[in-house]
Amino acid sequence: MRGGISLIILGLDPGLGTTGWGVIVAEGNRLSHIANGQIKTDSKAPLPERLVTLDAALTDLLLHYRPDGAAVEEVFVNVNPQSTLKLGQARGICLLAPARTGIAVGEYAARLVKKAVVGVGNAEKAQVHAMVSRLLPGVKIAGADAADALAVAITHAHHVASARRIF
User: What are 22-50's pLDDT values in tens digits?
Assistant: 999 999 889 999 999 999 999 999 999 99
Q: Which are the catalytic amino acids?
A: 13, 73, 145
Look at residue 84 and tell me whether its pLDDT is greater than 70: yes
Global pTM value:
0.92
pLDDT band, very low/low/confident/very high, at 4 (cuts 50, 70, 90): low
**73 in a known ligand binding site:** yes
Other residues' Cβ atoms within 10 Å of the Cβ of residue 82: 8
Q: Which helix (H) or strand (E) holds 104?
A: strand 104-108
Q: What is the pLDDT of residues 49-69, one digit of tens each?
A: 999 999 999 999 999 999 999
Q: What is the pLDDT of residue 1?
A: 38
Residue 162, pLDDT score: 67
pLDDT in tens, 86-119: 899 999 999 999 999 999 999 999 999 999 999 8
Q: Is 13 annotated as a binding-site member?
A: yes
Going by pLDDT thresholds of 50, 70 and 90, the confidence category of residue 80 is confident
Degrees, nearest 5: CA angle 29-33-35 = 150
> Could you give the domains of the chain?
6-166 (3.30.420.10)
pLDDT at 159: 87
Share of the chain above pLDDT 90, in %: 76
